[in-house]
Structure 1
C-alpha cells in the first residue's frame, strides 16, 4: 500500500480537526462524541482521537455528563483577534448610545456574505426587537448593519458577495439583485441604512465605522420594537456614535492597522 506524502497527511489531520471544531454552534454548544461524529461526518474512532488531543490542549472541555464544549484555551486565543481591539474601543460609545436611546445597540463586521455581531447591549431579555447575539451571523441584506457593510464593500468583492448570496443563503433568492443595487447606492449617498418593521414605527438604523484610510470596517446599529417615535429619529445619535468610534480607532493607530488588515 502506498504511503501518502507527509504534507497530505498533515493537511488531512488539520482539515479533520477544523471540521470537528466547526460542528459547535449556538444551537449545539454541548455534543457527545457520537454527536460530533454525526455532524462532522467523521468516524467515531477518528473523532475520539482528535477530540482527546483538543481536550488535552484546552480547546475543548469535557463536561460532567460526558459531552464536550468549546474550551477556555480556545476562547483565550480568539481574544487575540484584531476585532477584539475594535470591540474594546467601541464599547464605551455603544454603552452611551444605549443609555441615550434605550434601544438594542449592536456592533457588526462583515465576513463574506454575512454580518457578524461583535457586541450587543440591550435590556430586552426576551430579544423581541432583534435576532442577533454576540457571535451570531446574519445574511448581509437582512439587517441595517449588514446593508451598511454590503454597501461599502469594494466593487470587486461586492459583486462576489452579491453573487454568492443566493448560494450561501438560498432563502435570499436571486431575483432581488436590481432592487438591492439601488438600495445600496442610496445607503452610500445618505451614509446610513434604515430597516423599518412592517406596520410599525420600530425597526433598525445603522451607520458606518471608518478606519484610518476612510475604509468602512464595521457598522453601529440600534434596533427597537414599535415605539411612539419613528426609528429615523434615532439616526443622529447613531451617526454620532459611529463617528466617535471611528475617531477613537484612528487615534489608536497601531491596533487600527491590525483591524483594517
Structure 2
C-alpha cells in the first residue's frame, strides 16, 4: 500500500506500533501524547489510535495526569526472553556476593548486535559514585570490560563491523582506532579476561570474565565496576573469575536439565 500522492510505502500497523513503543527510553520514561507523536514521527490522530490499542492490551499505562509509560504487561512479556530471564536469575546471587566481597558494582552483560545489554546489576550502595547501571541499559562493546569480553568472542564479522567503526570516544582513554581495538581483543582472548580503565567514564574502571554456556561458547560476561583511583585488578580478578565460573556452571546446568512434561 502507498500513501496518496507520494507513491511511498505506508508504514504497517506493526511498524507504527513499534515506533510508538520506541519513543520511550531511559531518559523518556513518561511521555504525553504529543511527545509520543513527535518522537515517533506519526500524526497525532494516528498516535492516539495506536496508543489506545496499546493501552487496552496493557503495553502502555496512563497516569492520572494523562501521560503514558510502558505497561506492566509488556514488561512481563519481556521477561520471557530466553537469553535474559534464566541467566539473570542464575547470576544475581553471585553478583550480590561479588558486590559484598569487592565493594564494587557487579553486573551481568550479554551482547545484542553491536551493543552490550546489562541483564542484572548489584550495586554496593545507593551512592556509588561511578559505573551505575540498570537492567536493560545498553553499553558500548569497545568501551567497557564486559563489552570487550563479549566482542573478543563474537563472530569475526561482528568484530570487523565494530573495529571498522566509527568508534565513539567517551573519554580520552577510549580506544577509537580499529587496530588498537583488535590488539585489545587479542589480549582478552590470550589472558581470558578484560580490564578497562577510564574508557567509559573518566573516574571508572572495570574488569570482566566470560560466562560460558553449552559447548564452552561465551554467552555473557560478569564484571565489576569501581572508582578508577582505587581499582586493584590483581585483587579483583580471582573473585570475578570465581563468580563467572559459578554462573557458567548454572547456565550449563539449566540448558542440559530435561524439561518436566506437563
TM range (shorter): 0.7 to 0.9
Structure 2 counterpart SS, 1:48: helix
- SS of the aligned residue for 2:216 comes to coil
Aligned pairs for 1:125-164 (under 5 A) are: 125-163=126-164
Q: CA deviation at 1:253?
A: 1.7
Q: Which runs of 4+ in 1 moved over 4 A?
A: 1-4, 169-175, 226-229
Name the CA shift for 1:24/1:251 in 2 (closer, same or farther; >3 Å): same
Choose which of 250, 253, 256 in structure 2 pairs with 1:251: 253
Q: CA deviation at 1:108?
A: 0.5
* Structure 2 partner of 1:32: 32
Offset of residue 42 of structure 1: 0.5
Q: Is the 1:106–1:120 Cα contact (8 Å) retained in structure 2?
A: yes
Give the conservation status (yes or no) of the 8 Å contact 2:212–2:248.
yes
**Structure 1 residues 146 and 2: CA distance shift in structure 2, 3 A:** closer
User: Residue 158 of structure 1: CA displacement?
Assistant: 2.2
- Structure 1 CA distance for aligned equivalents of residues 251 and 210 of structure 2: 13
CA distance in 1, matches of 2:124, 2:185: 31
Equivalent of 1:211 in 206, 210, 213:
213
Q: After superposition, where does 1:37-186 map in structure 2 within 5 Å?
A: 37-82=37-82, 83-163=84-164, 165-166=165-166, 171=169, 176-186=177-187
Q: How far apart, CA to CA, are the structure 1 residues paired with 2:175 and 2:240?
A: 31
Distance 2:203 2:127 in 1: 19
Once the two structures are TM-superposed, the CA of residue 132 in structure 1 deviates from its matched residue by: 2.3
Residue deviations 1:60-115 (CA, integer Å, cap 9, x gap): 00011100000011011011111111001111111111121111001011111111
Give the gaps of 5 or more residues in structure 1: 257-261
TM-align CA RMSD: 2.8
Contact 1:59 1:71 in 2 (8 A): yes
TM superposition shift of 1:51: 0.2
Alpha-carbon separation, structure 1, partners of 2:257 and 2:90: 10
- Which residue of the partner structure matches residue 227 of structure 2? 225
Count of residues in correspondence between the two structures? 249
The answer as to whether partners of 1:196 and 1:231 remain within 8 angstroms in 2 is no
Give the whole-Å Cα distance in 2 for the aligned partners of 1:202 and 1:233: 17
Deviations along 1:157-204, one digit per CA (max 9) or x if unpaired, are 3223434x42xx655799500000000000000010011238x99621
Q: Secondary structure at the match of 1:20?
A: helix
Q: Distance between the aligned counterparts of 2:39 and 2:2, measured in 1?
A: 30
Please name the residue that 1:238 is paired with.
Answer: 240
- Note the residue ranges of structure 2 that are not aligned, 5 or more in a row: none
Q: Secondary structure at the match of 1:213?
A: helix
Q: Deviations over 1:138-173 (max 9, x none)?
A: 11111110111111101123223434x42xx65579
